[in-house]
A and B are shown apart, each in its own frame.
Chain A
Amino acid sequence: MDVNSNKYTYLFALVMVVVVALLLSGASISLKDRQDANVRQEKQQDILKSIGIMVERSEAPAEFDKFITEQVVVQNGQAVESETGAFEIDMAAAVSKPVAERQVPLYVASKNDTTFYIVPLRGKGLWGPIWGYVSLLSDGSTVYGTTFGHKGETPGLGAEITTDRFQEQFSGKQIMDGNNFVSVEVVKTGANNEHEVDGISGGTITSVGVGNMLKDCLTPYVDYFKNTNAQ
């Protein structure tokens, strides 16, 4: 057989493509469960990190069940029924909707008999998405802890949002001023009140992105916290 004839070349290409397609889809399907489990564990790990609990990824599911007492879906300040369940909500899709239409998850945690609210965050940095979790004390205003992640911010500049040094600044800040929601802003000029934290030199756009993300993602919960605390 002539391996260089046109007919053979086409046949070879065809067979190769089919074999490779079957092989790769087989691998993808058989490994998917494991990969999804890893992503879920990492999410649980991040949520726990925002209330200061550091666990190995493999231990995250057990610890998560221990500390997270309730998962609520919130829309427009009200707890609503959702078909997907709080944990499965895709934040990227949620934040692309107007605030009033968003269904967003709220995790209620209990550590040493103190109640924390954990709010997932999702926003834009300089090069790509940034995300994170912020935990609030039960007054619905005082920030307890934060954890941030990013996809491709510049190492040494924007990527510094993942450092403890940046994240620790948020602890103790207030997102409410009396009855008004003001969020916590990331400022360039030096933080001088309880609604501001210092930005990162050279990482201004990422820093501002964190501030905007906090404001945008906390808004749907404000009324929920007010209602819960009024009761």
Chain B
Amino acid sequence: MSTETQEVAKSREPLFSKKNRKLISDPLNENNPITVQVLGICSALAITVKLEPAIVMSISVFVVLAAGNVIISLMRNIIPNRIRIIVQLVVVASLVILVDQVLKAFVYDVSKQLSVFVGLIITNCIIMGRFEAFALGNTPWKSFLDAVGNAAGYGFILVTVAFFRELLGSGTLFGIEVLGNAADKTGLYAIGYENNGMMLLPPMALIVVALIIWVQRSRTKSLIEE
């Protein structure tokens, strides 16, 4: 009897209660999947040379994570415990294949740039981690919010890194020359500015991520270890 009343009370919880809002805001800062949990680093290194692929990658991860979290959450009471990891893997793999097919059909040029990294969303630890840690034990709506939060936290870092790498490495944003033309020596290049070619190489992504972690830790007291 007492459990029943609890469940009724639970279902009356407003859609954006304080607890639910926290599901979205936490992964943006204090529990960011990249900078705090240090997950999904490979893709953060690989596709952040330009802004456009970084954004498409973030959207793809969001779609896979949100759909996967909801599907896993809906099935959480009927998934046999012994094969739950396999079920999660099948869900994420099928969703990734779907995303890849859709990208190939509708944004072919971007899908060519992302090439193998779309397939590698499967191995993105953030996704399996959220399935296992959150969706298996929570309702679909909460799982969806959790996915939104984590995908946003991931995407935010990806886009920030891509912004600096594209701006400093190629002197462009979304392919538009914002600092002038390097070949014709116009804009900033006229006074001797040079693109930093190293920004285009994967190690610089790691360094940019590290700088973001530095800034974040110095601003968020709770993250500072003793």
Contact = CB atoms under 8 A, between A and B. Distances in A.
Interface stretch (B35-43, B62-70, B81-89, B212-220): B81-89
B192 interface: no
Interface stretch (B10-18, B25-33, B103-111, B132-140): B103-111
B105 A8 contact: no
Nearest to A11: B80
Interface in B52-90: 77-83, 86-87, 90
Interface string B87-106: 10010001001100110111
Contacts of B101: 27-28, 31, 35
A9 B82 contact: yes
Interface stretch (A16-24, A184-192, A205-213): A16-24
Given A20-B90, A57-B108, A8 B80 contact: yes
B94 to A, nearest CB: 5
A16 B83 CA distance: 12
Interface in B189-207: none
Given A13-B83, A20-B90, A31-B101, A38 B77 contact: no
A3 B102 contact: no
A23 B104 contact: no
B137 to A, nearest CB: 15
A12 interface: yes
Given A4-B81, A16-B87, A31-B102, A38 B108 contact: yes
A17 B214 CA distance: 45
Given A3-B80, A12-B78, A34 B94 contact: no
Contacts of A57: 108-109
A42 interface: yes
A136 B203 CA distance: 42
Contacts of A38: 104-105, 108
Contacts of B108: 35, 38-39, 42, 57
Contacts of B109: 57
Given A13-B86, A31-B104, 14 more contacts: A8-B80, A9-B80, A9-B82, A9-B83, A12-B78, A13-B83, A23-B98, A28-B101, A31-B105, A34-B106, A38-B105, A38-B108, A42-B108, A57-B109
List the 4 closest pairs (A to B, CB-CB), nearest first: A38-B108, A34-B105, A9-B80, A31-B105
Interface of B: 77-83, 86-87, 90, 94, 97-98, 101-102, 104-106, 108-109
